[in-house]
Amino acid sequence: MADTIDYIEFPSTDRARSGAFFRAAFGWGLTSYGPDYDGIEDAGIDGGIDQAEGRVQTTMAIIRTDDIDAAQRRVESAGGVITRAQFDFPGGRRFHFREPGGNELAVWVARED
């Protein structure tokens, strides 16, 4: 199904401590994707902990789509402002935007193999 929230990202100033907290408090698993990012497992929704420079400063919902270009056009037509242009990452491609009420979100599309 396209255009559904399927991922949530938590910014962190200390990825290791955030991960240890989520493991201890909720029993969630973690997969490391390098020095700045861990994927969260078994939380009911896929997610990650982002310690990278330039990360967003608040928790961010991420919407999966089938057509990232069409989704970006819809976001802009509805009054959203692109805050980070489309970029590639290991799982696919995504962009960030701010909706008129101020929330920052992202839209992603899976990499076609």
Compute the average pLDDT of residues 22-47: 94
CA-based diameter of the chain, in Å? 43
pTM for the structure as a whole? 0.85
- Domains, the chain, with CATH or none: 4-110 (3.10.180.10)
- Per DSSP, which regions of the chain are E strands? 4-11, 29-32, 37-41, 46-50, 60-64, 81-89, 92-98, 104-110
Residues 38-53 pLDDT 10s: 999 999 999 999 999 9
Tell me the pLDDT tens digit for each residue of 100-111: 989 999 999 998
